[in-house]
Amino acid sequence: MRFSMFATMMLLVCTLGCGSGGGTGTTGIAPAKGGLSGKLEISGSATVSPVVAEIGKRFESKNPGVRINVQTGGSSKGIADVQKGLVEIGMSSRDLKDDEKKELKNFAIARDGVCIILHKENPVSKLSDEQIVNIYTGKVTNWKDVGGPDKPITVVSKAEGRATLEAFTHYFKIKSPDIKASVIIGDNAQGIKTVAGSPDSIGYVAVGNAEFAAKDGTPIKLLPLKDVAATIENVKNGTFPLSRKLFLVTKGDPSGLSKVFVDYCSSKDVHDLMKEQFLVPIE
């Protein structure tokens, strides 16, 4: 009898206190005094990750029972991780491809641009689209051919799988195998560091990252495109020609904690964090 009563009590405790469901991020989610509870794994674009990490910290402060882990690796990795079920949310600096849209959903949270950067000491102040294409495809290999010093050009390009590379090649209508790169880099910070350390180099990175670095004293300069200055303000007003949306990606429609976090990233409550990261919020 005592055993039967004990078993009944244990069953009642489990019914009231145990969560249900599977997976890594949405189990155990329940309203609590401090808000939601659970864990989200997020991976992908190095352009999107800084702002998502900051949003995650604010979200955790409002919901002490939540833990959000943000990892980079590129847009393609984030999308692949979602497809494989390794993370609940991916970060992408590009739109989904047609075959990816069959099982994935994406949600635009911000906009940024991609710009050409040179070392601050390089006297070249502008390049035409054609000159940029010729440099990146190896038809022009010396700065003297585009109004600069008699020095070989160090071409810095992004690794495959990086959405910034896709935005660059799409805009300039070139194929990534045709790029004659001297140096292959990963994220924007690495690209800026590489160009800042090499006076004869050329690279392309996110406008916000480059603008912040230049204002912070990093020896780089941002080149205009089609005579439009590479600034966040021009990305915001739609005049800068090479701009893109930034996304969060989920497998199917998000639910539970994933949905709450995606909605939060799309809300006006985080517009200040977007602007601090030199991104343009989606209104």
pLDDT in tens, 249-261: 999 999 999 999 9
- Structural domains in the chain plus CATH codes: 37-111+245-281 (3.40.190.10), 112-243 (3.40.190.10)
Would the pLDDT of 81 be above 70? yes
Has residue 178 got a pLDDT over 70?
A: yes
pLDDT for 31 beyond 80: no
More confident: 24 or 75: 75
Beta bridge partners of 114: 206
Q: Tokens in use for 148?
A: 């600069």
In the predicted structure, residue 191 carries a pLDDT above the cut 60? yes
| pLDDT at residue 14 is higher than 60 | no
Q: Express the helix, strand and coil content of the chain in percent, nearest 5 each.
A: 40, 25, 35
pLDDT value at residue 160: 87
Give the tokens for residue 100. 């990816």
The pTM score is 0.73
Instruction: Examine the pLDDT at 3 and tell me if it is beyond 60.
Output: no
User: How much is the average pLDDT of 194-220?
Assistant: 95
pLDDT digit string (tens) for 34-57? Answer: 468 999 999 999 889 999 999 999
CB 180 within 8 A of CB 136: yes
Question: What type of residue is 98?
Answer: D
Mean pLDDT across the chain, nearest whole number?
88
CA angle 197, 200, 201 (to 5 degrees): 70
